[in-house]
Structure 1
Amino acid sequence: MPLNEQPDWVDRVLLPATGAQPCLDLGRPVDRAALLASVTARQQALGLAGMRRGGTAALRMPPSFDLITTLLAVWRGGGQALLLDHRLTDVEVASALAELRPQFLVTAGDEGGPRALPGGLPASTDHVVVQLSSGSTGRSKAIGRTAADLERELDCYARLPEFPGRGERVVLLSSMVHVLGLVGGLLNALGAGAELVLPDRMTPAGVLDAVGRRDAPTTVIGVPFHAELLAGRKAPPPLPQLRRMIVAGELVRPGVAEAFTERYGVPLGTMYGMTETGVIATDPSGREHPWLEPVHGMELSVSDGELHIRMPESPYLGRTDPTRWSQGLLHTRDAASLDPGTGRVAVHGRRDSQVSIGGLKVDLTEVEQTLSALPDVDEAVVLFTDGAIEAYVSGRDAGPERLRELLAQRLAAYKLPRRLAVLPALPRTATGKLLRSAATLREHAASRTAGHS
Structure 2
Amino acid sequence: MSDFGGPGPGTTDPQQHDGSWVDELLLHAGHDDAEPAVHIGERLDRAGLRREVVARHTELAEAGLRRGGSVALQLPPSLALLTHLLAAWRTGAQVILLDHRLTAHESDRALQRTAPQFLVRPAGPVRLGVLRGFHTVDAVAEPYPEGRPAASGHALVQLSSGSTGPSKVIGRTAADLVAEVHRYTLIPGMPGPGDRIVVLNSLIHAMGLMAGVLHSLHAGVEIVLPERMSADGILAAVAARTAPTVITGVPFHAQLLASVSAPPPLPHLVGAISAGESVRPGVSEAFAARYSVPLGEVYGMTETGVIAADLSGASRPATGRTAPGIEAKVVDGELLVRRPVSPYLGPAGPDRWADGWLRTRDAATLDPETGLLAVVGRLDSQVSVGGLKVDLTEVEWTLSELPGVREAVVVHDGAIEAYAVLDEQVTARAVEGLLAERVAGFKLPRRIHALTALPRTTTGKPVRDPAALRAAAQRSAAVPAAAVERV
Aligned-residue offset at 1:387: 5.1
Aligned to 2:20: 8
> CA–CA distance in 1 between the matches of 2:254 and 2:314?
16
Q: Does 1:303 align with 2:317?
A: no
What residue is the counterpart of 2:54 in the other structure?
Answer: 40
- 1:332 corresponds, among 360, 364, 371, to 360
Per the TM alignment, residue 146 of structure 1 is displaced from its structure 2 partner at its CA by 0.8
Alignment root-mean-square deviation, CA? 3.0
Cα distance, 1:384–1:300 mapped onto 2, change above 3 Å: farther
Question: Which residue matches 1:403?
Answer: none
Find out whether 1:420 has 2:432 as its counterpart: no
Q: 1:138 to 1:238 in 2, by over 3 A?
A: closer
1:52 paired to 2:66: yes
Distance 1:102 1:383 in 2: 42
After superposition, give the CA deviation of every residue in 1:376-409 in whole Å (9 maximum; x if it has no partner): xxxx989873458xxxxxxxxxxxxxxxxxxx9x
Q: What are the residue-to-residue correspondences of 1:356-395 with 2, within 5 Å? A: 385-386=418-419
Structure 1 window deviating more from structure 2 (196-205 vs 342-351): it is 342-351
Q: Show the counterpart of 2:35.
A: 21
Q: Does 1:312 align with 2:371?
A: no
> Is 1:335–1:349's contact at 8 Å kept on the other side of the alignment?
yes
- Distance (whole Å) between structure 1 residues aligned to residue 163 and residue 47 of structure 2: 37
- The reply on whether 1:91 has 2:85 as its aligned counterpart is no
**1:244 has 2:266 as partner:** no
Counterpart contact for 1:20–1:31, Cα < 8 Å: yes
Give the Cα–Cα distance (whole angstroms) in 2 for the partners of residues 139 and 305 of structure 1.
24
Identity percentage of aligned residues:
50
Q: TM-score, normalised by structure 2?
A: 0.74
SS for the counterpart of 2:155 is strand
Partner of 2:370: 342
What is the aligned partner in structure 2 of residue 391 from structure 1?
none
Alpha-carbon distance in 1 for matches of 2:317, 2:18: 37
Q: Is 242-251 or 341-350 further displaced after alignment?
A: 341-350
Counterpart residue type for residue 212 of structure 1: A
**Count of residues in correspondence between the two structures:** 386
- 1:134 is paired with a residue whose SS is coil
Match of 1:433 in 2: none
Distance 1:92 1:383, change over 3 A: farther
> Displacement, 1:104?
1.0
Equivalent-residue separation in structure 1 for 2:333 and 2:98 (angstroms) = 33
Shift of residue 349 of structure 1? 1.3
Is residue 276–residue 459 contact of structure 2 (8 Å, CA) maintained in 1? no
Q: Which amino acid aligns with 2:473?
A: R
Q: Secondary structure at the match of 2:326?
A: coil
Deviation at 1:296, TM superposition (A): 0.8
Write out per-residue CA displacement over residues 36-85 of structure 1, whole angstroms, 9 at most, x where no aligned residue. Answer: 11111111111111111111111111111000000001000010111111
TM alignment of 1:67-216, pairs within 5 A: 67-109=81-123, 113-135=140-162, 141-216=168-243
Which range is displaced more, 32-41 or 108-117? 108-117
Normalised to the residue count of structure 1, the TM-score between the two structures is: 0.79
Structure 2: runs of 5 or more not aligned: 1-12, 125-137, 382-391, 394-408, 422-454, 476-482
Which one has more relative contact order, counting CA pairs under 8 Å at least 6 apart?
2
Which letter does structure 2 place at the counterpart of 1:166?
P
Q: CA deviation at 1:442?
A: 7.2
- Give the distance between the partners of 2:44 and 2:100, measured in 1 at CA: 23
